[in-house]
Amino acid sequence: MFNLLVSYKNQEKEVIIVSNTEDTDDETESYLESFKYAQKRLEAEERKDSFGKLMREIVDSGVCTHCSACVATCDVLIWDPVTDRPKLTGKCSGCGICYNQCPRTITTIPDLIGEFRTIYTARATNSEIKGQDGGIVTAILLYGLESKLFDGAVVTLKSKEEPWKPVPKYVTTKEEILQSSGSIYCHSQTVVPLIGSLRKGAHSIGFVGTPCNINSVYKMQNSPFGLLKLFMRANIFRIGLFCMDSFSYEGLAKFLTDNNLNWSEVEKCLIKKGKFIFLLKNGGEITERVHRLNRYKSSSCYYCTDLTSESADISVGSVGSADGYSTVIIRSAISFELFQDAIDAGYIEATPLERDKLRLVLNLARMKKQSLYTIRSRRKFVYQAPKEVIEKPKYVPATKDDIIKAAARKMAKLSKADVDDNYIRFILINSSGETLDNVNIHIASVQDFFEVASWETSIKVWYPFEELEFEYPRTKDDTEYLIQLNDYKGLIISRVANVKKILEKKQSKKK
């Protein structure tokens, strides 16, 4: 046996082996061989989990536990007592040892995409199905319905009155199931028609939903307090969709309006390679980077770590499969049998997903898991209320005393101001450490101490350290913008953003 004593001398790690027996050399060699075996397994994975990745995802994001596992297992890492974080003393080989020992990293397949039996790439054989990718969800529902396995299905249809607005519904016909094919990328309250159908006597239901909807049904079925746990009449087959983000219907409508379009002109929506793509009925398309649409993203998506609907019986998405095909994760015994029967019946054609294609799914799942660590704060985009519902308050400019008092309260701060040819944007942070209620917001374009245009809106709740993002059209020959927020206690913040200074700052950054 032997003990390892680790000391630091001139910031270099020194390992002192204290012998307890004559077999120290043999034991040391055995330890090193075991260590090399683990290292070879990591190298066989053919991925580079470098120290830089560990720093970026774990250390710099503030979730490092200071356990020293990375330092203890790497010859070129030490714990820096000055910065109180790991530090390289040599060249990183990218072996992945440090990254994979960290208790905060998520690296195994079950941890990334949940438990499963097998994974396929597949497509529907029915030419009537106009699915998002392979039409697998629609094919499964049709097979279940036509084989009398399902009484019906809970799906999301597109509103006829408001194009592309999600309408959750319990359906029992082939025609309605075909109408539900294709993704909408907005929240849909599908649990309401699910419970409604059970109350009306449905017993076997195919339920389609994103991870958040699937998780709610799973909890209702499995929690000791779940309303469906002891409801023996309900057999719910959970079909989960891959989901990275969900967006506000009204927010995306604003994006389309800003591009001189509306929902009625959209034929199909899809997210591919980091881009949100609107395919238009006239054959054209409009694309935008997904991260540029974050202002319209649901706030809950910032805290979601489930890409593949891990609580589903079967999960379906496009990642990892070729165009026209879907990636299908079979999780439960019943989903395996149903899927195989659908293949045998000619509804679906499928082949096992190749390992290198699975890696694409794992990489995206890892991004979503790790994104929880990199959240700095909440953020919401503040829309200007429609003119007809604005109650125009009598605006009274803040006095010097008001501004001094607000500064002393340190309730909020202006973290960013930006302008382009058409818009001015602000980001404000609630720095008070407390929730602020019923905040009134006044933003105005000011010239020579006179307001030439102003916007009024309000928010009911402003959470601690939550960011508010504003975007308003610039006025002609604008010079300054006034930003003032009030609550029932008085002035929260009063700031003036100078257009010239903002532009100068942007230019200096480019240099």
Closest by CA position to 278, among listed 153, 151, 183: 183
- Strand segments, DSSP code E, in 101-234 are 118-124, 152-158, 166-171, 204-209
Cα dihedral value 296, 298, 302, 303, nearest 10: 180
How would CATH label the architecture of 379-510? Sandwich (2.60)
**Is the model's pLDDT at 47 over the cut of 80?**
no
Let me know how many helices (H) and strands (E) the chain has, helices first.
14, 23
Closest by CA position to 72, among listed 155, 152, 13: 13
Measured CA to CA, the distance from residue 443 to residue 292 in angstroms comes to: 23
Closest by CA position to 348, among listed 333, 361, 338, 358: 338
Could you tell me which residue, 370 or 114, shows the higher pLDDT? Answer: 114
Measured CA to CA, the distance from residue 320 to residue 357 in angstroms comes to: 5
At 391 the pLDDT is 47
At 241 the pLDDT is 96
At 202 the pLDDT is 93
Cα dihedral value 261, 264, 265, 268, nearest 10: 120
CATH class, domain 115-245+301-373, is: alpha beta
- Listed in order, the ranges of the chain carrying CATH 3.30.70.20 are 2-105
Backbone φ, ψ for residue 405 (5° rounding): -65, -40
**Is the model's pLDDT at 22 over the cut of 70?**
no
Strand 436-447 relative to strand 450-462, pairing: antiparallel
Strand 379-381 relative to strand 467-473, pairing: parallel
Mean pLDDT of 80-86: 87
Measured CA to CA, the distance from residue 481 to residue 429 in angstroms comes to: 18
Question: pLDDT tens digits for 437-472?
Answer: 889 998 888 887 788 888 888 888 887 778 888 888
At 313 the pLDDT is 97
**Is the model's pLDDT at 186 over the cut of 80?**
yes
Mean pLDDT of 326-337: 96
Mean pLDDT of 269-280: 90
At 44 the pLDDT is 60
At 124 the pLDDT is 93
Q: How confident is the model at residue 352 (pLDDT cuts 50, 70, 90)?
A: very high
Mean pLDDT of 16-42: 59
At 434 the pLDDT is 72
At 132 the pLDDT is 74
- Listed in order, the ranges of the chain carrying CATH 2.60.40.10 are 379-510
**Is the model's pLDDT at 497 over the cut of 50?**
yes
How high is the mean pLDDT of the chain?
84
Look at the domain 247-297 and name its fold. Answer: Nuclear Transport Factor 2; Chain: A, (3.10.450)
- Tell me the residue length of the chain: 511
Backbone φ, ψ for residue 330 (5° rounding): -90, 120
Backbone φ, ψ for residue 390 (5° rounding): -75, 125
At 6 the pLDDT is 42
At 320 the pLDDT is 93
How would CATH label the architecture of 2-105? 2-Layer Sandwich (3.30)
At 45 the pLDDT is 62
Question: pLDDT tens digits for 57-75?
Answer: 888 777 889 999 999 988 8
Measured CA to CA, the distance from residue 363 to residue 307 in angstroms comes to: 11
- Listed in order, the ranges of the chain carrying CATH 3.10.450.750 are 247-297
Which DSSP letter does residue 299 get?
G
Those residues whose C-beta lies under 8 Å from the C-beta of residue 61, and which sit 6 or more positions away, are 373, 374
Region of poorest pLDDT, from 7-21, 43-57, 83-97, 420-434:
7-21
The H-assigned helical ranges of 345-410 are: 355-371, 400-409
Mean pLDDT of 175-195: 93
Give SS3 for 95. coil
Model-level pTM?
Answer: 0.71
- Please give the single-letter amino acid code of residue 265: E
Note whether 437 and 460 are within 8 A (CB).
yes
Note whether 458 and 467 are within 8 A (CB).
no
Q: What is the DSSP string of 469-493?
A: EEEEEPPTT--EEEEEEEETTEEEE
Could you tell me which residue, 56 or 237, shows the higher pLDDT? Answer: 237
**Is the model's pLDDT at 348 over the cut of 80?**
yes
- Listed in order, the ranges of the chain carrying CATH 3.40.640 are 115-245+301-373
At 49 the pLDDT is 77
At 409 the pLDDT is 61
Residue 313 Cα to chain centre, angstroms: 22
Percent over 70 (pLDDT), the chain: 83
Give SS3 for 304. coil
Q: How confident is the model at residue 430 (pLDDT cuts 50, 70, 90)?
A: confident
Question: pLDDT tens digits for 208-265?
Answer: 999 999 999 999 999 998 888 888 788 999 999 999 999 989 889 989 998 999 999 9
The three-state (H, E, C) secondary structure of 106-120, written as one string:
CCCHHHHHCCCCEEE
Q: How confident is the model at residue 16 (pLDDT cuts 50, 70, 90)?
A: very low
